[in-house]
Structure 1
């Protein structure tokens, strides 16, 4: 029987009673989805699956999304093989690919190789971050939009030696305006939807107003009561809701760390 063991009071649960190497029934998929919506990020331990099984599990929840950063645009598997990740962008609080017109609904990250110490990942409950704002700030944020831009992330990747054509990526993914407060299409919950990796400014506000408000909103997600932290081991997979969370890859290691990730397309493209 599938069970969920909460990791903190506000976000994250470890899932037991499921073997991802085996086909899942519709009831099992429904149970996992409901647990995912409730806890916002799920952790599966001791799942020694391959890339095909990884992708097939993701497909039970929606169409696959191929991220802009994938060098191989024919593969849904994004391979993260890092030794010195500091400053590459994962070590900032963010939701995945918010610069896209339709950011992914969710991501499934699987651990293959982990350093002897370090390399944890943290997630934060963006719904709780919104709820913790005072009512006047909530009302202000409800009316605001913000620009999301790939440029900052690309410049960081290029500075770390990754081979990308900045102008080509900017042409493919021009800046996109989206609400500061996102309404979850399944739960109806509101979440704070700005992040340091991609959000460049609040639309309609002056420079001084942006300098005061945007950093506050971005940093607000760092409150510990919103967060859960995972220590990886090979065979662990995390499945998070990109619409209601942000995450942070702790860049505290200098040994090899290998992760494979699959992302799921936006909800309006969902097949179920």
Structure 2
């Protein structure tokens, strides 16, 4: 098996498993991706992470929401092992098969495929009772010029809401549903998610304002792609409120981006972010491994 690393004007193939020059033992350098969240870290080798290293990486992720680490070479086992440092690894999806029978945990996101070209703000599995908590993305192939990976901060967006709107959202829950995925279940057969057999994708409810289970910070837990309605709010009023929240959440002031080249690994806390990719012309292939979230919970009264 070969990996592909981009150099100007062409794709260069290198053997999977070859160790980059940098290592976790070398003091890393880092720089922010935006004023609000996200960080790039150089000088790490993520192929062989120790317990101490994973603790440091978790701290970085919880603090910054997104950690981009370029110049990595991971084989599938190393990719899955890295994700397992952050929790219990999920299947690639509840509805779409993974890389192959040997690696059902790896979701292949290929811009040339029917399921790989979603250039829209989205979360991952937010239409399930327990979404994905943390993702480990590994960019395998990118077009000349690379791929711009983009994120939104749920927490920045919540913090910027006016107090009256924060009070209005107290106790409001969103309905998350992706009925189009039932077509994939008919095509591929039943899926599995968190120990359950999935034969259809039913609506689920999550709080619009969620407390992060590890940091305690509050964020807007809506997904422009899957959040369909607001519970207990009249339909027309709910649509207007949801549109207002989506417009606010997707404002550029809450965004960070990263011009990724093949070999880039990105750790993403989906409890505090949303994501999308914007490509130059040409193929883009990402491998994604995720870990399970807990069921999202709203803050207690004294956290509002």
TM-score, structure 1 normalization: 0.87
1:259 aligns with 2:259: no
1:183-231 deviation digits (Å, cap 9, x = unpaired): 0011100000111111000011112102211111112122212111111
1:41 aligns with 2:66: yes
Q: Is the 8 A contact 1:89 1:197 kept in 2?
A: no
Q: Is the 8 A contact 2:33 2:258 kept in 1?
A: no
Q: Is the 8 A contact 2:130 2:293 kept in 1?
A: yes
Between stretches 51-60 and 164-173, larger displacement belongs to 164-173
SS of 1:122 mapped into structure 2? strand
1:79 aligns with 2:108: yes
Q: Is the 8 A contact 1:107 1:239 kept in 2?
A: yes
Distance in 1 (alpha carbons) for counterparts of 2:120 and 2:47: 33
1:144 aligns with 2:161: no
Decide which of 36, 42, 50 is 1:10's aligned counterpart. 36
Corresponding residue of 1:95 = 123
Point out where structure 2 has 5 or more consecutive residues left out of the alignment.
Answer: 1-26, 192-197, 296-304
Decide which of 160, 169, 179 is 2:207's aligned counterpart. 179
1:124-165 deviation digits (Å, cap 9, x = unpaired): 11101001010110111122001001215x38xx6xxxx552
1:53 aligns with 2:82: no
Q: Is the 8 A contact 1:84 1:253 kept in 2?
A: no
Distance in 2 (alpha carbons) for counterparts of 1:256 and 1:89: 10
What is the CA distance between 1:254 and its match in structure 2?
4.1
1:71-106 deviation digits (Å, cap 9, x = unpaired): 249610011122377x96732212211011111111
Q: Answer with 1 or 2: which has the greater Rg.
A: 2
Distance in 2 (alpha carbons) for counterparts of 1:2 and 1:30: 15
Q: Is the 8 A contact 2:142 2:285 kept in 1?
A: yes
Q: RMSD of the TM alignment (CA)?
A: 2.4
Indicate the structure whose relative CO is greater, using CA pairs within 8 Å and at least 6 residues apart. 1
Q: Is the 8 A contact 1:83 1:253 kept in 2?
A: no
Corresponding residue of 2:11 = none
1:245 aligns with 2:266: no
Aligned length: 258
Q: Is the 8 A contact 1:83 1:254 kept in 2?
A: no
SS of 1:142 mapped into structure 2? coil
Distance in 1 (alpha carbons) for counterparts of 2:39 and 2:286: 20
SS of 2:257 mapped into structure 1? strand
SS of 1:209 mapped into structure 2? helix
What is the CA distance between 1:257 and its match in structure 2?
1.1
